[in-house]
Amino acid sequence: MNIIGPDYLVFGVDDVAAACEYLTAFGLKPVDVTEKGGRFETLDGTGVVVRHKSDPTLPPPLPTSNMLRQQVYGVRSAADLDAIEAELSSDRRVTRLSDGSIELKDDHGFELKFQVTIRRELDMPAEKINAPGAPAQRGPNEIGVWEDMPALPRTLSHVVLFVPDIEIATHFYCERLGFVVTDILTGAGPFLRPKANDDHHTLFFIRTPDYMKGCEHLAFHMGGPTELMVAGTRFVKKGYQSFWGPGRHKFGSNWFWYFNSPLGCHFEYDADMDKHDDSWVAREAPNGAEASQIVLFEMREKWAPGGGPPPGAKG
């Protein structure tokens, strides 16, 4: 089963205009968007679909206040859809749609859809750095930052779910769909990557009471830590609310910056995540502030020293 990762997340919101404003300001491109909502995409075509919560075309809601309606996974080929259907139709209803995609529920009742991925292949450089002892990544006269530098989400990276039972969730995604556990934060849950994706994780679970079941956050890969901080700074300047970050996680090594949203969950910019193959042995650490980040910063307004000596200084 060559599952690549999430193509889209689908949300049913209570304020479509607010959600559309938010997603656009976050850096996603509106595609076929009307007053009823629509699709917002990253540079590779993955992204978010948003509609009003009363829209009859949406999958049914979770029995909580969470607004997530469906996770749409991309797979490599139609043969992978056949394999998923064969595996899961033994104990649940699997609906085959006219475009060949299949819909079903996971063991916690989250609505899932699998389709041949719509993601476009990107051909863009990563952030380049220079360091003594290493060949220069930016040559002479190639500058690192400029005021209007692009800082747009490149792809939908990962989803984090609140689930009441970690074992049920892990069993379904690993034993039934071939995901691999890369690391475990004991007390929260495991990081998972699907077989056809070498990112440290595309899925993470956090154990919570049943009434919280839903999406905690979704994250988008940026071109590097500088793009992440530039995008986040621009977002804050427009009035959007930082929740956590910027900082850098330990497991996965990815830089992070989380924001509140009108979609009932956090949105994250992330960058520079670890890659793994099947030889990797999962690590485990107790969940907490130390385990979850190597550094954490908090944004402040731009400031610079200058303007003469401090008051009372001699000379």
Partner 1 sequence: MQNDVLIDERPGLAPAARRLCHVKDIGEGEARGFGPLPGSKRKIIVLRRKGVLHAWLDACPHYATGTPMAWKTDAYLNGEKTHLTCHSHHALFDMETGECVLGPCLGQTLTRIDIVVGEEGDVFVAAPAEET
CB-wise, 224 or 246, nearer to partner 1?
Answer: 246
Q: Is 212 in the site for partner 1 (CB under 8 A)?
A: yes
- Strand duo 95-96 + 102-105: pairing: antiparallel
Q: Is 24 in the site for partner 1 (CB under 8 A)?
A: no
Binding mask 48-87 toward partner 1 (x if CB under 8 A, else -) reads -----------------xxx--------------------
Q: Is 139 helix (H, G, I), strand (E, B) or coil?
A: coil
Sequence-distant (6+) residues with CB within 8 A of 312 are none
Which window, 69-77, 108-116, 238-246, 278-286, contacts partner 1 (CB under 8 A)?
238-246
| Angle, vertex CA 276, rays to CA 48 and CA 250, nearest 5 | 75
Q: Is 306 helix (H, G, I), strand (E, B) or coil?
A: coil
Q: Is 13 in the site for partner 1 (CB under 8 A)?
A: yes
- CB-based contact 192:174 (threshold 8 Å): yes
Binds partner 1 by CB under 8 A, chosen from 48, 62, 188, 265: 265
Q: Is 239 in the site for partner 1 (CB under 8 A)?
A: yes
Helix (H) or strand (E) holding 159: strand 155-163
CB-wise, 21 or 175, nearer to partner 1?
Answer: 21
CB-wise, 11 or 179, nearer to partner 1?
Answer: 11
- Candidates 28, 37, 29; CA nearest to 10 is 37
Binds partner 1 by CB under 8 A, chosen from 22, 191, 255, 269: 22
CB-wise, 70 or 197, nearer to partner 1?
Answer: 70
Quick one: three-class SS letters along 215-227?
EEEEEEECCCHHH
Token pair 């969950």: residue = 265
Binding interface with partner 1 (CB under 8 A) = 13-15, 18, 22, 65-67, 208, 211-212, 214, 216, 238-243, 259-262, 264-266
